[in-house]
Amino acid sequence: MSKQKRLLAVHDVSCFGRCSLTVALPIISATGIETVVLPTAILSTHTGGFTGYTYRDLTDDIVPIIKHWEELNIKFDAVYSGFLGSFEQIDIVSQIFKKFKAEGSIIAVDPVMADNGELYKIFDENFPKGMVSLCQLADVIMPNITEASLMLSGQYKEGPYTKEYIRELLIKLSQLGPKKVVLTGVYFDERDLGAASFDALTQEFSFARANRISGYYHGTGDVFGSALVAALVKNKKLSKAVEIAVDFTVGSIKRTYESQTDIRFGVNFEEGLGDLLNACNSNN
């Protein structure tokens, strides 16, 4: 039996609406990885489509929590960061990466800040620059196309995309520092949707797609990112990890679409956890 891996997930807790930590913790734990949490903020719901949500920034708690862990000499095989509660947290999370990076560990950054061509309203225009500095420290990043465009200071383009355009974005993102880059929200015609990846070490590009299901489902970026990071920690190669994460996310969206739940409530990933575990444990 190989040693159990330990991962630190740094995201907000949106109490209702299945995204960030309420998605990362169950998904990564279900694959057999010990999942330690560091909440960046607590909200009553996520900010997508809800109004009147509560918001408590936990920046002041993070530094003492880290200090305590250092005293306990806790080590992580992976750190996975997502939605950060304040600009100041970018610097704090950079420190966390430096403190906890070890031989063979994986630093994964989802630069959550924008979608559909727009920066989320709670972030100011300097936020993308801060996210670039965090991505420079990462081994793997997983922006959507809006986030990628903001980080590369380019104009956001609506799809469908060409393979050349996606390849160019992937290469430019890898030049920021991370050896593995995954782009989400990639489509080459209106009927499909998926993710693309580039591994700078092997120079391999890959695309994983599925039939598009109409509707914009919240939290799917976090469902995808959590499955991707879990598969990578379980030693899957990047193209396989992307395929596993796309299948898991698409299955979650399908179940939600079929049950006609409110799209703001997040997707039914729970009933796909058994399949995710099997995919992560299979030998191919």
Interface stretch with ligand PXL, choices 133-141, 161-169, 216-224, 236-244 (CB under 6 A): 216-224
Whichever of 48 and 178 has its CB closer to ligand PXL, that residue is 48
Interface stretch with ligand PXL, choices 42-50, 137-145, 229-237, 254-262 (CB under 6 A): 42-50
Please report where in the chains the tokens 């939605």 appear, as a residue: 83
Q: Which two tokens stand for residue 263?
A: 């799209």
Restricting to residues 130-189, name those near ligand PXL by CB under 6 A: none
Helices (H), 11-122: 20-30, 59-72, 88-100
Neighbour count for residue 60 (Cβ, 10 Å): 8
Taking phi over 0 as left and psi of -120 to 50 as alpha, with beta for the rest, 17 belongs to left
User: Which of residues 185, 219, 251, 272 is near ligand PXL by CB under 6 A?
Assistant: 219
User: Which of residues 7, 20, 144, 147 is near ligand PXL by CB under 6 A?
Assistant: 20
Whichever of 46 and 180 has its CB closer to ligand PXL, that residue is 46
* Alpha carbon separation from 134 to 148, 157, 179, 257 (Å, rounded): 13, 24, 14, 35
Is residue 18 a contact point for ligand PXL (CB under 6 A)? no
Interface stretch with ligand PXL, choices 11-19, 177-185, 230-238, 268-276 (CB under 6 A): 11-19
User: Which of residues 83, 188, 217, 224 is near ligand PXL by CB under 6 A?
Assistant: 83
Is residue 35 a contact point for ligand PXL (CB under 6 A)? no
What is the rounded CA–CA span in Å between residue 235 and residue 261?
A: 35
Q: Which two tokens stand for residue 21?
A: 């930590």
Is residue 221 a contact point for ligand PXL (CB under 6 A)? yes
Amino acid at residue number 198: F
Is residue 111 a contact point for ligand PXL (CB under 6 A)? no
Q: Is 214 exposed, middle or buried (0-12, 13-18, 19+ CB in 10 A)?
A: exposed
Please report where in the chains the tokens 């609406």 appear, as a residue: 17
Interface stretch with ligand PXL, choices 39-47, 190-198, 200-208, 250-258 (CB under 6 A): 39-47
